[in-house]
Amino acid sequence: MNWIDRYVAEIKRYLPAKNRDDVAEELQSLLEEEVLELEADRERPLTDAEWHDLLREFGHPMQVATRYGANGALVSAALYPLYRKVVTYLLAATALIYVVAIVWSIVADVTWGVMTEQRAVNLGFGFSEAWSFAVNWLVFITLGFHIADRYLVNAGTLQRWNPDSLPPAMAERETLLSSILVSILVAVWLVILHRLSPEFSAAVLSGEQDNRFITLIGWLKIQAVVVLAVYLVLLFKPHWTKGKRAMIMVADALTAFGIALCLSMPAEALLQAYPQLPEGLLRVSTIVLWIWVLGLLADLLVQGYKVVQRR
């Protein structure tokens, strides 16, 4: 029943959490009964080709989830379950980031005196900016799903779906929740980095300006773009592969290199660019960067181990 396990595992990703297990169990039983009847008629197990025909007839996992889960008017019924989850997590993540930003502005102001309320607003952490961010991304997401409708549904892409593309039922998967949340958070992080420093050039990355703050942001932008690309792919192909882990390893290695480059710059140089910074904050930043490098190296080892183990 490996085909059934793989098929049902994929459908569960798009089902509402409250009845996911019940629906999955019902689908499992329904498919098992159908297979038993077909095998009894043929007096032999189904071939892979017959499995493909059966699952194609039953439908793409997104379409099956729609029949058992939800429907909507913003986008087609086939893509609505995924659309609803993406929008829900977008709004939740925006609210969380807004609260964290307010707390950070207060803590930074009390501790170091370097973040005033006005500066927090300038960085995009005000309520109106947070609301504008959520609305803008809602528009982009809805437009993206509308375009996807034309390609996936109207063009018949879902009907040409091949069951061979299903990953093994026990393959390591990224949950839909984590894929969406990480994609949203990394996109927000990329926007924040750009607001902090819109500069991006070879001179910035090489540290020619002798400003570890600007150079660090440049390397973090590269990391964010790579990680965002990986998690956007995981939204639709949730199983981890060697290629996806290799991309995360590349992002880790590049960021570690960038931070090491920043550590090679004298911290005192920041006082010339930002004379209002307290010296204590410079010492803390150096410690944080070293911890950051160690964390990246640890993640490199973990990802490399999983690649070697072919997980």
Same-domain status, 208 and 140? no
Same-domain status, 146 and 204? no
Q: What is the DSSP-derived secondary structure letter of residue 173?
A: B
The model's confidence at residue 182, banded by pLDDT at 50, 70 and 90, is: confident
The answer to whether residue 277 scores a pLDDT higher than 70 is: no
**pLDDT attached to residue 128:** 66
The model's confidence at residue 219, banded by pLDDT at 50, 70 and 90, is: very high
CB burial string 136-170: b at 16+ within 10 A, e below: ebbeebeeebeebbeebbeeeebeebebeebbebe
125 domain residue, yes or no? yes
User: Structural domain tally of the chain?
Assistant: 3
Encode pLDDT of 281-302 as tens digits.
Answer: 677 777 888 899 999 999 889 8
The domain boundary residue, chosen from 67, 88, 103: 67
The domain boundary residue, chosen from 34, 67, 100: 67
**pLDDT attached to residue 223:** 92
Q: Report how far residue 128's alpha carbon sits from residue 125's, in angstroms, rounded to the nearest whole number.
A: 8
The answer to whether residue 280 scores a pLDDT higher than 80 is: no
Same-domain status, 242 and 227? yes
172 domain residue, yes or no? no
Of all residues in the chain, what percent are helix, strand and coil, respectively (each to 5)?
75, 0, 25
**pLDDT attached to residue 227:** 93
Same-domain status, 230 and 310? yes
Nearest to 95 by CA among 58, 134, 64: 134
**pLDDT attached to residue 18:** 72
Same-domain status, 54 and 99? no
The domain boundary residue, chosen from 67, 95, 115: 67
Encode pLDDT of 5-54 as tens digits.
Answer: 888 888 888 887 777 888 888 888 888 888 888 888 888 888 888 888 88
Q: Maximum distance among all alpha carbons in the chain?
A: 83
Same-domain status, 233 and 260? yes
| Residues forming beta bridges with residue 173, ordered by sequence position | 239
Enumerate residues 6+ apart whose C-beta is below 8 A from 292. Answer: 259
Mean of pLDDT over the chain: 77
Q: What is the pTM of this model?
A: 0.64
Q: Report how far residue 264's alpha carbon sits from residue 244's, in angstroms, rounded to the nearest whole number.
A: 31
**pLDDT attached to residue 224:** 93
Same-domain status, 79 and 58? no
Q: Report how far residue 234's alpha carbon sits from residue 149's, in angstroms, rounded to the nearest whole number.
A: 19
180 domain residue, yes or no? no
166 domain residue, yes or no? no
Q: Give the H or E element holding residue 262.
A: helix 242-263
Range of the domain at 232: 196-311
Instruction: Of 53-67, 113-127, 240-254, give the range with the top mean pLDDT.
Output: 240-254
The model's confidence at residue 123, banded by pLDDT at 50, 70 and 90, is: very low
The identity of residue 187, as a single letter, is: A
Same-domain status, 92 and 49? no
Q: What is the DSSP-derived secondary structure letter of residue 166?
A: P
Same-domain status, 54 and 105? no
The identity of residue 127, as a single letter, is: F
The answer to whether residue 150 scores a pLDDT higher than 70 is: no
Encode pLDDT of 61-120 as tens digits.
Answer: 887 887 775 544 456 666 777 777 778 877 777 777 777 767 766 666 665 555 444 444
Q: How far is CA 252 from CA 66, 143, 173, 183, 187, in A?
A: 38, 32, 21, 17, 17
152 domain residue, yes or no? yes
Q: How far is CA 72 from CA 66, 161, 236, in A?
A: 10, 23, 20
**pLDDT attached to residue 151:** 66
Contact between 70 and 80 (Cβ < 8 Å): yes
37 token code pair: 């009847």
Q: What is the DSSP-derived secondary structure letter of residue 172?
A: -
Same-domain status, 229 and 243? yes
Nearest to 78 by CA among 24, 153, 177: 153
The answer to whether residue 257 scores a pLDDT higher than 90 is: yes
User: Per mean pLDDT, which range of 56-65, 74-83, 135-144 is the poorest?
Assistant: 74-83
